[in-house]
Amino acid sequence: MKASHFYISTLKEAPSDAEIISHKLMMRAGMIHRVAGGIYSYLPIGLRSIRKIETIVREEMNRAGAIELLMPAVQPAELWQESGRWKKYGPELLRLKDRNARNFVIGPTHEEVVTDIVRRQIKSYRQLPVNFYQIQTKFRDEIRPRFGVMRGREFIMKDAYSFDKDRASLAVSYKKMFDAYVRIFTRIGLEFRAVIADNGSIGGSESHEFHVIAETGEDAIAYCPTSDYAANIEKVDCIPLSNDRAAPMETLLKRATPGKAKCEAVAEYLGIPLERTVKSVVLATDVDGKIKIWLLMLRGDHHLNEIKANRISGLEEFRFASEVEIVEWFGTSSGYLGPIGTKRPMRVIADQTVANMSDFVIGANELNFHLTGVNWGRDLPEPEVYDIRNIVEGDPSPDGKGKIAMCRGIEVGHVFQLGTKYSDAMNATSLSETGKSQHIEMGCYGIGITRILGAAIEQNFDDRGIIWPETIAPFEVVLCPMHYDRSQSVRTVTNQLYEDLLNSGIDVILDDRGERPGVMFFDWELIGIPHRLIIGDRSLKEGKIEYQERRHTDTLFLEKGSAAQVVARKVKAAKKL
């Protein structure tokens, strides 16, 4: 490609609404153009990277035996009513009416549409397993679209749906997709982790998220550096920190803790470790119009995991108690609460770590007072015990193979075992070997194509701009000739390099715009082309061409005759071809 036949449009400054680095750099590099909140046009530079991601995803999907089709963006409400999601999905589902006032949605996913295809086409186990995928435009009406393509409303996704005759076969289909995802992100060349995930609203059983590791990631990931364990923090089951409770050593005392409402302040004031304190989290539920209060007890340095709390019977729809409710049930306000001597009765739930503590500190249900030397059984009844906290750095890994470390990630892929959730609701069945009608076992598998762009940038940038991996760079090599229009020798050598690189199968752009060197370098460093050759009369006199990798600062001088070959070899090595 010659730059004069292409569209390049860079900016010195990012627009003010761009909060994160990938959004800023994509705007500045002219990859995207904002159309409305969370809705972008992909400009030519951006689309090139998207197409390369799509190609890698498509190749690996095909290799894994998935079959491509294409489903519509606009879907009839009837299918969503059948599955139950018409009611459950909430305002992220963009609903609309056609000219005949019939209800439709713009699909955020396609479980309903693909299940409808399968239930009408598949009759027998002999037609199974089958896995359909598409690369298609989706819409999710985010309450606060932001971060450019990272949380847009309209986006491109690869979604695959597997159909199996039984759970064992589903597990095989799931594994194939899991392995394909590992290959995809490995091929793209991003640092990533497959983590055990919570299923969220899609439902089902086993599921993994694929995260690109980046400091700016929205999700916290707990992993074990000495094993392959990794999980979204929301999902990690904590192992009890000790197996027994020590015998009581202290007597119960009421101590003044003036103005010390936080565990940290109490520990410091009393001169004890934070790990000896216990915090009280007060939740409320409404049961047939009657309010019920729950006291959840966590060690002072731990945090409530709301998803785990949600799983406790009766707490499925909890909310945090109001200050008015707290005063009514405890007789005092937050900061000095505890299970001993409350004004009204309540359910007390202890985290499993708290349940094994002795001689601990809790609020006294009196302003500016705490109780020390508290012990289960002796000073208050044994509690109900659950795992209700988030795991923290240094905790034992749930697989028993080391200690937990933390990192942050950007979710770019997700694989689910859906089971028969949709095939039950929509009655998608097949005849088994014994002639019995069975609900088909489903899996679903998504990759955020456009989100990968943002995630790749969050992981690979510097103060000059983007640093693309070769696999998904808009171009692999840029040729920057000095005085292309005036120097015959520069033009001849540049054109020859261009032809040689093209013939080696390299995706090269020749900057023939006639811009000053400073402008050329600024543009291509911002856009992030991984390899740059500068062709100038000065180095040509010595038979050399200046070469720089975007990732490194040092400059190499390559022999004129072999420069194309050297660079082509580097590109192919990086792409593992």
Q: Is 384 in the site for a copy of itself (CB under 8 A)?
A: no
User: C-beta of 491: minimal distance to a copy of itself in Å?
Assistant: 21
Distance, CA of 244 to CA of 456 (rounded, Å): 46
- Taking the least distance from each CB to a copy of itself, the nearer of 95 and 255 is 95
DSSP characters over 496-562: HHHHHHHHTT--EEE--S---HHHHHHHHHHHT-SEEEEE-HHHHTTTEEEEEETT---EEEEETTT
- Taking the least distance from each CB to a copy of itself, the nearer of 75 and 471 is 75
- Taking the least distance from each CB to a copy of itself, the nearer of 248 and 514 is 514
What amino acid occupies position 266? V
Distance, CA of 565 to CA of 547 (rounded, Å): 13
- Taking the least distance from each CB to a copy of itself, the nearer of 113 and 568 is 113
Q: Is 341 in the site for a copy of itself (CB under 8 A)?
A: no
- Taking the least distance from each CB to a copy of itself, the nearer of 105 and 558 is 105
User: C-beta of 470: minimal distance to a copy of itself in Å?
Assistant: 21
What amino acid occupies position 169? S
- Which residues have CB under 8 Å from 555's CB, separation 6+? 546, 547, 548
Residue 58: Cβ within 10 Å count: 16
Q: Cβ(73)–Cβ(417) under 8 Å?
A: no
Q: Is 99 in the site for a copy of itself (CB under 8 A)?
A: yes
The residue count for binding a copy of itself (CB under 8 A) is 51
User: C-beta of 270: minimal distance to a copy of itself in Å?
Assistant: 49
Q: Is 143 in the site for a copy of itself (CB under 8 A)?
A: yes
Q: Minimal CA–CA distance to 383: which of 348, 352, 417?
A: 348
The number of CA neighbours under 13 Å toward the Cβ of 417 is 19
Phi, psi dihedrals of residue 150, rounded to the nearest 5°: -75, -35
Q: Cβ(557)–Cβ(549) under 8 Å?
A: no
Q: One symbol per residue from 486 to 525: x for binding a copy of itself (CB under 8 A), - otherwise; what is it? A: ----------------------------------------
User: C-beta of 441: minimal distance to a copy of itself in Å?
Assistant: 18
- Taking the least distance from each CB to a copy of itself, the nearer of 152 and 363 is 152
Choose the binding region for a copy of itself from 109-117, 225-233, 293-301, 412-420 (rule: CB under 8 A): 109-117
User: C-beta of 435: minimal distance to a copy of itself in Å?
Assistant: 20
What amino acid occupies position 512? D
C-alpha to C-alpha distances, 173 to 129, 335, 544, nearest whole angstrom: 8, 51, 53
**Interacting positions 389-408 with a copy of itself (CB under 8 A):** none
Sign for the CA dihedral angle at 67, 71, 76, 80 comes to positive
Residue 178: Cβ within 10 Å count: 18
| Cα of 182 vs its chain's centroid, Å | 15
User: C-beta of 8: minimal distance to a copy of itself in Å?
Assistant: 10
- Taking the least distance from each CB to a copy of itself, the nearer of 5 and 541 is 5
- Taking the least distance from each CB to a copy of itself, the nearer of 142 and 198 is 142
User: C-beta of 482: minimal distance to a copy of itself in Å?
Assistant: 21
The binder of a copy of itself chosen from 13, 16, 87, 120 (CB under 8 A): 120
Angle at 290 between CA 284 and CA 294, to 5 degrees: 25
The binder of a copy of itself chosen from 80, 89, 132, 178 (CB under 8 A): 132
The binder of a copy of itself chosen from 55, 124, 137, 427 (CB under 8 A): 137
Sign for the CA dihedral angle at 414, 166, 138, 62 comes to positive
- Taking the least distance from each CB to a copy of itself, the nearer of 95 and 408 is 95
Q: Strand, helix or coil at 253?
A: strand
Q: Are strands 531-535 and 544-549 parallel, antiparallel or unpaired?
A: antiparallel
The binder of a copy of itself chosen from 3, 18, 50, 361 (CB under 8 A): 50
- Taking the least distance from each CB to a copy of itself, the nearer of 41 and 310 is 41
- Taking the least distance from each CB to a copy of itself, the nearer of 74 and 172 is 74
Q: One symbol per residue from 69 to 98: x for binding a copy of itself (CB under 8 A), - otherwise; what is it? A: xxxxxxxx--x-----------xx-xxxxx
Token pair of 472 as six digits: 């998904």
Q: Is 154 in the site for a copy of itself (CB under 8 A)?
A: yes
User: C-beta of 417: minimal distance to a copy of itself in Å?
Assistant: 22
Q: Is 566 in the site for a copy of itself (CB under 8 A)?
A: no
User: C-beta of 574: minimal distance to a copy of itself in Å?
Assistant: 25
Distance, CA of 282 to CA of 294 (rounded, Å): 6
Q: Minimal CA–CA distance to 412: which of 195, 110, 179, 113?
A: 195
Q: Minimal CA–CA distance to 302: which of 266, 268, 274?
A: 274
- Which residues have CB under 8 Å from 496's CB, separation 6+? 564
User: C-beta of 419: minimal distance to a copy of itself in Å?
Assistant: 23
Q: Minimal CA–CA distance to 270: which of 252, 253, 257?
A: 257
- Taking the least distance from each CB to a copy of itself, the nearer of 157 and 326 is 157
**Interacting positions 9-48 with a copy of itself (CB under 8 A):** 9, 33, 35-36, 39-44, 46-47
Contacting positions for a copy of itself (CB under 8 A): 5-7, 9, 33, 35-36, 39-44, 46-47, 50, 65, 67-76, 79, 91-92, 94-99, 104, 106, 113, 116-117, 120-121, 130, 132, 137, 139, 141, 143, 153-154
